[in-house]
A and B are shown apart, each in its own frame.
Chain A
C-alpha cells in the first residue's frame, strides 16, 4: 500500500482554479519535490496532506486513513522563521514538543521518550546547543532543531515547506543531507516544497510541477524539459542544464522559480 494516495484532487478559491484532477501516490522512501511559481497552491497541497484544508474535490489517504487522523504521525518542517531573541525556550523544548506537544496534561517524558529526544538532537548535531536559548541560535541551527522536531515523532511521512529558504549553502546541504539519510534509513517518504530544485536535485525521485492552471508529475528528466514546461505555461520556456544545475528561463516570474546562480 502506498503511504500517500491522492486521487483527483481539485483546489479552487472562489472562481480561481489552482488545479484539477491531481493524482499521485507516494511509496516508502520516495522524495517528491513540489515546484512551481508562487500562488499555485504548493503550501495548500501540504495543508491538504495535513488535513488542515479540505480539497474542493477528490480525496487523500495517508496509510489508508484520512489526513486529519494521521497528523500526529506526520513530521512537518515549516519555512525557516527566526525565533524571537528573547523567547524563553531551549532547543530541546522545541524538539520535545514533537513528542508530546499535542498531548493534554503536563506529564513528564517516559524514559523511552527521553531516549528518543536525545537521539533526535544527536542525529541533527544539535546536542551541543540543545540547552541554549533558542532565539540566540543562528538560523541554520534553529532549522536543524525544526528537523529534529519533525523526526522525533518517528513520522510515517515528512512534509517540508521551503525548509532551505534563507539558509546559506552549507546549512542547505546539512538539512537536505539529514532528510535524505532519514528517508533511506527509515523509509519515510518526503514531500519537499521548494522554489529551487538544485539543492535537492541529486536525491529527487519525482517532481510535481504546479503551473498556473495545470500540473505535471514525473521523473526530473521528464518534467523539467523545455517542451514540458512550455506546454504547462503555454508560453516559451527554456530549461537549461549548466554545470549540473537546472536553470529555468522564460516563466512569467522566473526570478521566483529557479534562481539563476542562486548561491547567496
Chain B
C-alpha cells in the first residue's frame, strides 16, 4: 500500500512541492527569527487567508489572492518598521481586522467549504503540475532575493546602527525582507495551511540557531530541518492517514525540542 502510493504522480508532486517550500521557508527563517518577527509571519499568513477568501468570492485564482494579501501586509509591516511593544500591538490590530474581513468573505462565498479548510490546514496531496511550477517560480524569486541581499540584510538584522553608519539602506531592507517573507508565506500556506506556516518558517530556523551560532551554517541547517519535516511528514501521512500538517509540525517541533535540550547542556 505504502509502496504503491510512492509510485503515484500526486505523491511525487507533493514531495516536490514540499521540498520547494521547505527550502524557501528555511532560508528566510534565519532572518525572521533574528529579527524576532514570528508574530509578523503569523499576521502575513492570516491576511494571506483573507486575500484567498476574497479571491474565492471574486472567482479568481486563490493563489493570486493569497500572494496579493500577503504582499500588502508585508509591505505595510515593512513600512511601519516600528519596534518592540508598538509593533506588537500594531500587528495584532491589523491581524484581527484582516481575519474578520476574511470571515466575511467566506460567509459570502457560496462554494465548497473544503476550499476554506484547505487554506487553513493545508492540502499538500492535491498539488497539481501547474501549482508545482508556480511554487518553483516564486521560490526562485525569493531565493534570488535572499542571496542578493544576504550580507546587508544580515548586517541590518543584527547591528542596525552599525549597518546604517556604513550606508546600508536599513529601511528599504526592512521592506524587502517583509516582501520576501510574504512570498514565502504564500508558498508555505499551500503546503501546511495558514495556521501552521510558523512550523516551517520559524521552528526549523529557531532550532538551527540553537545548534549553531555561525549564521551561514544555521541558515543551511534550518533548510535541512524544514526539508526533513516536510518530506518526513508527507511520507508518514501516506503510511498513517492523519493530516500531513500534523506530521510536519510534529517533526519540526521534535527537532526544536531536542535542539533546546541539547543547547541547554552545551551552553549554560
Contacts A100-B151, A101-B155, A103-B151; A89 near B162 (Cβ below 8 A)? no
Name the one of B161, B209, B267 contacting A78, with C-beta atoms under 8 angstroms.
B161
**Among A87, A134, A159: residue with most chain B CB under 10 A:** A87
A210 to B: closest C-beta gap in Å: 20
Q: A123 CA to B83 CA in the complex, in Å?
A: 35
The reply to whether the CB of B215 lies closer than 8 angstroms to some CB of chain A is yes
A102 adjacent to B152 (CB under 8 Å): yes
B34 adjacent to A72 (CB under 8 Å): no
Contacts A90-B213, A101-B154, A133-B267; A149 near B162 (Cβ below 8 A)? yes
The reply to whether the CB of B158 lies closer than 8 angstroms to some CB of chain A is yes
A188 to B: closest C-beta gap in Å: 16
A88 adjacent to B215 (CB under 8 Å): yes
Residues of A within 8 A of B148 (CB): 104-105
Q: A53 CA to B228 CA in the complex, in Å?
A: 48
B165 adjacent to A76 (CB under 8 Å): yes
**Among A83, A86, A159: residue with most chain B CB under 10 A:** A86
Q: A133 CA to B151 CA in the complex, in Å?
A: 19
B166 adjacent to A89 (CB under 8 Å): no
A105 adjacent to B168 (CB under 8 Å): no
The reply to whether the CB of A81 lies closer than 8 angstroms to some CB of chain B is yes
Name the one of B33, B151, B158, B267 contacting A104, with C-beta atoms under 8 angstroms.
B151
Residues of A within 8 A of B212 (CB): 88
Residues of B within 8 A of A50 (CB): 165
Name the one of A51, A105, A132 contacting B150, with C-beta atoms under 8 angstroms.
A105
Contacts A89-B213, A133-B267; A106 near B151 (Cβ below 8 A)? yes
How big is the A interface, by class? 20 to 34
A76 adjacent to B166 (CB under 8 Å): yes
Q: A88 CA to B267 CA in the complex, in Å?
A: 12
Contacts A71-B167, A106-B147; A81 near B161 (Cβ below 8 A)? yes
The reply to whether the CB of A136 lies closer than 8 angstroms to some CB of chain B is yes
Q: Which of A104-124 contact B (CB under 8 A)?
A: 104-106
Q: Which of B136-164 contact A (CB under 8 A)?
A: 147-152, 154-155, 158-159, 161-164
The reply to whether the CB of B67 lies closer than 8 angstroms to some CB of chain A is no
The reply to whether the CB of A68 lies closer than 8 angstroms to some CB of chain B is yes
Selected A-B contacts with CB under 8 Å, 15 pairs: A68-B167, A71-B165, A71-B166, A72-B167, A78-B161, A87-B158, A88-B209, A90-B214, A94-B162, A97-B151, A97-B154, A98-B162, A100-B151, A104-B149, A133-B267
Q: Which residues of A does B touch, CB under 8 Å?
A: 50-52, 68, 71-72, 74, 76, 78, 81, 83, 86-90, 93-94, 97-98, 100-106, 132-134, 136, 146, 149, 159
User: Ordered nearest first, which 6 A-B pairs have the shortest CB separation?
Assistant: A101-B155, A88-B209, A76-B165, A106-B150, A71-B167, A102-B166
What 9 additional pairs, Cβ within 8 angstroms, besides A72-B167, A94-B162, A104-B149? Answer: A51-B167, A93-B158, A97-B155, A97-B159, A97-B162, A98-B166, A133-B213, A136-B267, A149-B162
